[in-house]
Every structure is written in C-alpha cells, then in structure tokens.
Amino acid sequence: MNLWDKKAKTYARYSETLNKIQQDSFEEFKKLNIDFKDKLMIDIGCGTGVWTLHFAKVAKEILALDSSKIMLEILSQDALKLGINNIKYQNLSFDLFYKENPNFRCDIAFLSMSPALQNEIDYKNFMTLAPLRIYLGWADYRKSDFLDPIFRHFNTEFKGFYKKDLENFLIEKNIKFHKIIFNEMRVVQRSREEAIENALWHLDMNGVKTDKRILENFIKEEVKEQIESKIKLLIF
C-alpha cells in the first residue's frame, strides 16, 4: 500500500478556520497582491485538500494532484459536502503527471509541504507550469519531543527537510524569489495506539522496518507531542 494512503485516515482534513501557517500565508499573498479569483491552478501533493478547498472557493478551476488515491477520495468527499465542483483530480506522482502532461499550463502552481519535488528535473518542470509559483516547505529539521528520541534509537532522523532543495536551485540559477519564514509550535494529543502507528509510519518513510512490539516498549501511554517547525514560503 502507498504509505500516504496509510497516512490518510489520520491526516488533517479541510477546516473552514485557517490554521496559523495558512493565516500567515494568506496575509503574505494579500501584501503581494496575489489574487486567486478566477484563476486556473494546480495543487501539487494536495493531500486531503487542506489548501485546495480554500482556493477552489475563488479559483476558476483547480487540478488536485496526489499520489494517494485515498487522500483524493477524502478531498472529493469534502468538496461534495461544500458544494464545490470546480476541482479536477489526478492520482499520480508529480513526475508521472508531467511525463503524461508536458504541455500542461495554468495561472498559479501551488505546492505545500509535499515531497513531490525531488530533484533538478522536478524543479525545472514545476517552473514551467505557471507564471506564478508558490511553494511551502521545511526551512529546517522539524523538532518533536516524541519522534526525535525514537529516530535516534533507530539511527535515523526527520527526512522532510533537504539541505539542497528548490530554494538552492533558484539561487544557483539566479532566479529571483520572495521568501518568508514562519515559526510554528503545536501540540498533538494521541492515544497510545495512534502514537505507535504514527511512529511506525515515520520509520517506514525513512526506510526503517521494525516490529511493532519494539515500539510498544517505548510508548507506554497516550502521548502529548510538542512539535516545533520552521516553514518557508517561496513565491516566484
């Protein structure tokens, strides 16, 4: 099973109320006079539509792209509940989507916290999609008082942050961009079973296979996880 399909059942869903990162991002969009009204958009690695559905309320049409079929099904269900019908769905990874649709163009290409862009080819392809590109990604290693000790035990680390990423590519190619960093701190409450499954999923993403019983020795009760993140917004 696709690991993101596994994650889908516990992944954040659309909320009418913007989270702190969304609030800060939309404030920045407003400062820069970025208008999503009547625009053609693509949301790469859209997941359950946490951002997609906010954009869809004003955009002309948005293509929701994700490699997880179950994430897209959840997005489709929430769109139906909201009476939103201007979303198209593509269950593909970004590289496969681009291979099949090399001439795809829209007004705004958006990507938030997705590992979809992996290399220079992906960065170049992302740039061709639209005249305006918006990217949200990790600006540093995410800190978790729950996961970090587990990562250390298994001799691994948080894999979402890449020292060489899209920003490095833009700098190397002398492409101007607007950048702002957001600091996020949040607390997540999980039952013991949810915490074990979450740790197993993160280890699996890191290529670490382990027996659930080993984690049961680590995690004895419900978990209140404190997460600290630095997230960068790039607009170019």
Is the pLDDT at 2 greater than 90, yes or no?
no
Residue in the block written with tokens 């197993």:
200
pLDDT tens digit sequence for 11-40? 889 999 999 999 999 999 999 999 999 999
Q: Specify the pTM.
A: 0.91
Which of 6-15, 63-72, 103-112, 157-166 has the lowest average pLDDT?
A: 157-166
pLDDT computed for residue 123 by the predictor: 97
pLDDT computed for residue 1 by the predictor: 62
pLDDT computed for residue 4 by the predictor: 84
**Strands 108-112 vs 40-44: parallel, antiparallel or unpaired:** parallel
CB 232 within 8 A of CB 178: no
pLDDT tens digit sequence for 126-179? 999 999 999 999 999 889 999 999 999 999 988 776 678 999 999 999 999 999
Higher pLDDT among residues 201 and 49, named by residue: 49
User: Could you tell me the pLDDT band of residue 108, with boundaries at 50, 70 and 90?
Assistant: very high
pLDDT computed for residue 141 by the predictor: 86
Which residues, in sequence order, are CB contacts of 143 under 8 Å at separation 6+? 227, 228, 229
Higher pLDDT among residues 124 and 164, named by residue: 124
CB 184 within 8 A of CB 21: yes
CB atoms near residue 50 (< 10 Å): 22
Token digits of residue 113: 């916290």
What are the CA-CA distances from residue 70 to residues 8, 139, 163, 180 (Å)? 6, 28, 30, 32
**Average pLDDT for the chain:** 94
What is the secondary structure of 37-93 as a DSSP string? Answer: TT-EEEEET-TTTTTHHHHHTTSSEEEEEES-HHHHHHHHHHHHHHT---EEEEES-
pLDDT computed for residue 161 by the predictor: 64
Is the pLDDT at 71 greater than 90, yes or no?
yes
Output DSSP code: residue 18.
-
User: Could you tell me the pLDDT band of residue 101, with boundaries at 50, 70 and 90?
Assistant: very high
**Strands 132-138 vs 61-66: parallel, antiparallel or unpaired:** unpaired
Which residues, in sequence order, are CB contacts of 57 under 8 Å at separation 6+? 84
pLDDT computed for residue 35 by the predictor: 97
CB 25 within 8 A of CB 136: yes
Is the pLDDT at 48 greater than 80, yes or no?
yes
Write phi, then psi, for 125 (nearest 5 degrees). Answer: -65, -40
